[in-house]
Amino acid sequence: MFSVSSLRSSKIRLLNPPSNHPPPISHYFPRLPPSILSLNPQKRAFKHRNLRIRAIDAAQPALPVQRLKRSTLFVDVLSVKEFPRNLFLQILPLEFDVLCTHPMFGPESGKNGWRGLPFVYDKVRIGNEKSRISRCEKFLNIFVQEGCRMVEMPCAEHDRSAAESQFITHTMGRVLEKFGLESTSINTKGYETLLNLVENTSGDSFDLYYGLFMYNKNAMEQLERLDMAFESLKKQLFGHLHDVLRKQLFENAEALEVTEQKPVLPKLLQNGVTVEPPTETMR
């Protein structure tokens, strides 16, 4: 989360940076606290420093709203959207603008540039004045110029989609990490994909993963669906195994029954006289 005051006080400068050395975010927002958000010039990716999802709720009572100018734009870059949206609407006066965003990339996925990577945003509350509209558009234009795929989406829809994609991705990566996947000499492409998934998700802190679970009301449903899917798959496997064993059992029983019911032919003696086989009544 960070705030951007009026255009005059924030001195936003939208200059085209060299493609190989993008400037830090302070280039655009000189008064932005460096501890909140920075751009890594080498990796061209977001690095969240002193900001975690769980920290927002605890920090909001200390937010000096009364000391900020009435025309201030608040922007959040958290991985969940409904929680900061509702929090900002609750604690910020109507004179403050609110823009909820989520750059859908990190140090790994964005290390080679941001072109084509999705940047989700929701203009939760932007005033009608031209200056406030222009300020919001100029902020978003930073990511447009970097080639991001801009996706305007309501916060609630974002959280539903993120729970089905981002949260499940992190969950599967952490499950496989605990499973202990290791590279082999005969890795398939699919297995390499799983190893890469473990590597990517293990690079993020558990605090981030817990925040995706704690502050997205859709996450629990996804965990339950994942658990049901795993149980359904096991039942399908064991059910098929049961059918195979039962089929083999009945086939063996039928073969034994046919053998017992097979008629015994009379034995012919050398002189052509037949000898009847013994019956149950014969001793």
The answer to whether residue 155 scores a pLDDT higher than 50 is yes
Q: Where are the strands (E) in the chain, listed by range?
A: 2-4, 37-39, 46-48, 73-76, 97-103, 118-125, 149-152, 267-268, 274-275
pLDDT value of residue 105: 87
Domain residue extents for the chain: 63-153, 154-255
Instruction: State how beta strands 37-39 and 46-48 pair.
Output: antiparallel
Higher pLDDT, 256 or 1: 256
pLDDT value of residue 195: 97
The answer to whether residue 116 scores a pLDDT higher than 70 is yes
* pLDDT interval class at 71 (50, 70, 90): confident
Instruction: State how beta strands 46-48 and 73-76 pair.
Output: unpaired
Q: What is the pTM of this model?
A: 0.67
Higher pLDDT, 257 or 165: 165
* pLDDT interval class at 111 (50, 70, 90): confident
pLDDT in tens, 29-46: 344 333 333 333 333 334
The answer to whether residue 244 scores a pLDDT higher than 50 is yes
* Mean pLDDT calculated for residue range 116-139: 96
pLDDT value of residue 182: 94
The answer to whether residue 220 scores a pLDDT higher than 70 is yes
The answer to whether residue 198 scores a pLDDT higher than 90 is yes
The answer to whether residue 52 scores a pLDDT higher than 70 is no
pLDDT value of residue 59: 62
CB atoms within 10 A of CB 202: 14
- Third-level CATH fold of 154-255: 6-phosphogluconate dehydrogenase C-terminal fold (1.10.3660)
For residues 158 and 77, is the Cβ–Cβ distance under 8 A?
no
* pLDDT interval class at 104 (50, 70, 90): very high
In whole angstroms, give the CA distance from residue 149 to residue 274.
Answer: 95
Cross-strand bridge partners of residue 46 = 39
Cross-strand bridge partners of residue 118 = 149
pLDDT value of residue 96: 94
In whole angstroms, give the CA distance from residue 27 to residue 35.
Answer: 15
The answer to whether residue 164 scores a pLDDT higher than 90 is yes
Higher pLDDT, 164 or 22: 164
* pLDDT interval class at 259 (50, 70, 90): low
* Mean pLDDT calculated for residue range 178-204: 94
In whole angstroms, give the CA distance from residue 256 to residue 114.
Answer: 70
Q: Which of 194, 149, 167, 45 is nearest to 105 (CA)?
A: 45
Question: Which CATH number is 63-153's, of 3.40.50.300, 3.30.1050.10, 3.40.50.720, 3.30.390.10?
Answer: 3.40.50.720
pLDDT value of residue 21: 42
